Amino acid sequence: MQAGPAKALCYHPLRNTHSRIEEPVLAARILNGTAIRDEIYKELESEIASLAAAGVRPGLAAVLVGDNPASKLYVNSKIAACGKLGLASFLLTPPATISTEGLLDVVADLNRRDDIDGILVQMPLPKQVDAKRILDAVDPAKDVDGFHPENVGRLVAARPRLVACTPAGVMEILRRSGIPVEGAHAVVLGRSDIVGKPMALLLLHANATVTVCHSKTRDLAGTARRADILVAAMGRAAMVTSEYIRPGATVIDVGQNVLSAAEDVERIFAKFPEKLDAFRKKGTVLVGDVHPEVVETAGAYTPVPGGVGPLTIAMLMSNTVRAARLRRGSGQNRGHAARSSS
């Protein structure tokens, strides 16, 4: 198994108050998602060139409803990734007042277009729009988010076609970083349809023993502590502390939480002055579901930012190329999402 890029191991001093001797504590290996993303992009370039030689340019359509600033940021980053790789991209911006029926018409038009291989409907949608109906209306062959019931069912049956991007990205991090999955006990914190459930299935198909935890799990910290691989995806800022981590475990932080309250930032980053300085300059700071103190307990972990986030977009690009190959190219069973679930 190929070892992926990671920063060098480092040591933090820990003061023993009884002996007054400073003892080094081995810090966790950082799993560099940005470097792994760049590896995947380099591999995709050859696939894109192969398709281009056959007269096929993969195309991604992004549907952004309304003016949500966070959604705009996410969509713009995805469009930029298309430009970097030479994929065609189409941005549709229906008004925030659009109805469910109106948005269904938009999706139906994209389903019919042969120059579009992937359709991304950015969430959340306005309250008056039935999000489930919209996602179910996307052609499964163009469902590069992997949310359609047909693609979910194929994943359950271990016959994946297009897999949810964030879980697929996590599997790439584990595989390319040389983290053993087969036979490992993996604990997934969170049971969402977008991350938790497909994450559990991918780990299960990779022969891990999987436990899924949620808000009603008894002794959540105790259950998490038994994990060789812990995936945190509950959407609660810095909730996972060292109490949740078995020493030496691999910790994957899927959380993306923006903090603006000074008291929260100062509490979480008390030992990280560079983060506090950045917060004071910007007024906000990004933090995952895992408390930064975990670096002193885990064996390896994904930072926020720079961990799972870059892989989510990378796997969206991979799914778009895969969809183009399956729809318009050779139809060969290629692509990172398929490898991740094998």
Are 112 and 167 members of one domain? no
The pLDDT tens digits of the residues spanning 145-193 come to: 999 999 999 999 999 999 999 999 999 999 999 999 999 999 999 999 9
| Whether residue 334 is found in the same domain as residue 286 | no
128 catalytic residue (yes or no): no
Mean pLDDT of 210-222: 97
Q: How far is CA 242 from the centre of its chain?
A: 22
Residues 319 and 288 in one domain: no
Range of the domain at 281: 11-30+163-304
122 is catalytic: yes
Query: Angle at which helices 196-205 and 149-156 pack, to 10 degrees?
Result: 30
Tell me: do 188 and 252 sit in the same domain. Answer: yes
pLDDT(196) > 60? yes
Residue 150: count other Cβ atoms within 10 Å of its Cβ.
14
**287 plus 216 within the same structural domain:** yes
Q: What's the CA gap between 219 and 242, in Å, rounded?
A: 15
Q: Which of 78, 142, 197, 275 is catalytic?
A: 78
Distance in angstroms (rounded) separating the CA atoms of residues 186 and 172: 15
Q: Do 297 and 246 fall within a single domain? A: yes
Q: What pLDDT is attached to residue 68?
A: 86
Q: What percentage of the chain's residues is helix, strand, coil (to nearest 5)?
A: 45, 15, 40
pLDDT at 158: 96
Of 122, 142, 197, 228, catalytic: 122
Q: Are residues 316 and 297 in the same domain?
A: no
Task: Tell whether 109 and 209 lie within a shared domain.
Answer: no
The single-letter DSSP state of residue 288 is -
| Total domains present in the chain | 2
**256 part of the active site:** no
Q: Active-site residue among 117, 139, 143, 145?
A: 145
In this structure, is residue 264 part of a structural domain?
A: yes
Is the residue at 153 inside a domain?
A: no
Whether the pLDDT of residue 53 is over 50: the answer is yes
How do residues 89-138 score in pLDDT, each as one tens digit?
A: 999 999 999 999 999 999 999 999 999 999 999 999 999 999 999 999 99
- Do 168 and 252 lie in a common domain? yes
CA distance 319 to 341: 13
pLDDT at residue number 330 = 56
Residue 188 domain-assigned?
yes
Nearest CA to 173 out of 12, 340, 294, 17 is that of 340
Q: CA 133 → CA 138, 149, 252, 331, distances in Å?
A: 9, 11, 31, 29
**pTM listed for this prediction:** 0.88
Average pLDDT for 257-276: 95
**Do 211 and 331 have their domain in common?**
no
pLDDT at 22 over 60: no
